[in-house]
Chain A
Amino acid sequence: NAGVTQTPKFQVLKTGQSMTLQCAQDMNHEYMSWYRQDPGMGLRLIHYSVGAGITDQGEVPNGYNVSRSTTEDFPLRLLSAAPSQTSVYFCASSYRAGGHTDTQYFGPGTRLTVL
C-alpha cells in the first residue's frame, strides 16, 4: 500500500491564481480530511469527507473547495489564491466515518507559497 499520497510536494502561485492539490489513499478509508499547518497554530481542519459524495466544512474552509467523487481521491481546490493561504497542507484518512478510535494517517504534505 502506498498509504496517503499528495501532489505536488511544492507549489508557488501568484495572487489570484487557482490550483488543485491532489490527495489519494489506497486503504479503502471512508474518512478523508484536509488540514493546513501554520507555525504556532498546530493543524487546522479545512474540509472533511465521510464518504464518496459527502463533504463538510471544518474550522477554516473559506477560500477552499473540495469534492469526493470516489473513495480514493479527495482534491482540495484553491479558488483564487491569497498570500494568507501560504501554508503546508496535509491530507489525512482513517478507516471509518465517525470512527472515533480510528487512527488518522497523513500524507507527506504540500508546501504552498502564494506571492
Chain B
Amino acid sequence: AQSVAQPEDQVNVAEGNPLTVKCTYSVSGNPYLFWYVQYPNRGLQFLLKYITGDNLVKGSYGFEAEFNKSQTSFHLKKPSALVSDSALYFCAVRDGSGNTGKLIFGQGTTLQVKP
C-alpha cells in the first residue's frame, strides 16, 4: 500500500537560514512525488513535483526538493527562509503501478520562520 510520512509536526527556523521539511514514502511501483503548501484559511497550492530524471527538482517561491530513491525520501528545501514561508506543507505520492491517479498525502508539517 502507498503511504507518505512527514516525521515532524513542526519545523522552526530563523529567517535567512536554510530550511528542510522531511518526507519519506512507500510505494510498490515508480513514485511520483509532490509538494503542496497551504497558507492559513486557503486551499493547497502546488510547489513542485518529481516524475523522473534529475533528483533535484526546482519549484515555486525558491523551493527545491531532493529525491533519494535508496532512502525513499523527498525532502523539501530552501536555501534562505522568509517569514512569509510560514505555512503548512504537505508531501504527497502517486503509485505509478495504479490506474486511477489517486494521490496519498502525508499529515503535514507546519513551518514557522521567525524574524
Contact = CB atoms under 8 A, between A and B. Distances in A.
Given A42-B107, A43-B90, A97 B44 contact: no
A93 to B, nearest CB: 11
Given A41-B107, A42-B107, A42-B108, A102 B101 contact: yes
A97 B101 contact: yes
Given A56-B100, A103-B49, A42 B44 contact: no
Contacts of B28: none
B100 A98 contact: yes
A48 interface: yes
B99 interface: yes
A108 B107 contact: no
Given A100-B96, A101-B51, A108-B43, A42 B105 contact: yes
B101 A96 contact: yes
Given A105-B46, A106-B44, A40 B9 contact: yes
A75 interface: no
B11 to A, nearest CB: 15
Given A40-B9, A58-B102, A103 B107 contact: no
B29 to A, nearest CB: 9
Contacts of A58: 102
B67 interface: no
A101 B102 CA distance: 11
Contact of A50 (B32, B46, B100, B108): B100
